[in-house]
Amino acid sequence: MGRRLLPRTLPELYAQALAMEREAAKRFAELEQLMRDTGIEHLAEEFGKIGREEKEQYELLELGTAGRKLPEVTGWEYSWHFLGPEADRIEAPTNAREAIAAALGTERRTQHFYSDVAENALDEAVRAFAAEMAADEQRHVLRLELLLAREPEAAPASEEDAGGAVLA
């Protein structure tokens, strides 16, 4: 039986964290704009706040790793965790609950990745950094779970309303 691939060194984890945080910032910006376009301002504001936090996290990582030679991140190495590169391709949400659920799924996968690294990596520094990142993602998960709990159930959409646009 094969072993799961986990980052073995801080540079490997930094490279993966940079990729994930950059994608998260992009995803939240897309969701924020989608909510603004549909007039759901309270969610646009929340997605904007979380997106800025993700962007800030990315920028801090980028600054902290400036000048370091980081390994290239290859998607296949971590596809076991993220269900492959297509896992983050979702149909454009058609209502607020779907938008929150999409964001929540991404944040949970990221948090599970960091938790798995924190629990199983051999290097103590890698485990510590991953635990810190998992705690940060957990805060986002909790915020999104609260938003989802407060959002009323959507009325069933008609077939004409089903757009099918894809967020990448």
- The full DSSP string for 120-156 is H-SSHHHHHHHHHHHHHHHHHHHHHHHHHHHSPPPPP
pLDDT of residue 2: 44
In a domain, 2, yes or no: no
Strands (E), the chain: 90-91, 166-167
In a domain, 164, yes or no: no
CATH of the domain at 46: 1.20.1260.10
Residue found under tokens 């030679």: 69
For the chain, what is the domain count? 1
In a domain, 85, yes or no: yes
Place 148 in a pLDDT band, splitting at 50, 70 and 90.
Answer: very high
In a domain, 121, yes or no: yes
In a domain, 162, yes or no: no
pLDDT at 80 exceeding the cut of 50 = no
pLDDT at 100 exceeding the cut of 90 = yes
Predicted TM-score (pTM) of the model is 0.80
Place 166 in a pLDDT band, splitting at 50, 70 and 90.
Answer: very low
In a domain, 102, yes or no: yes
Range of the domain at 41: 10-151
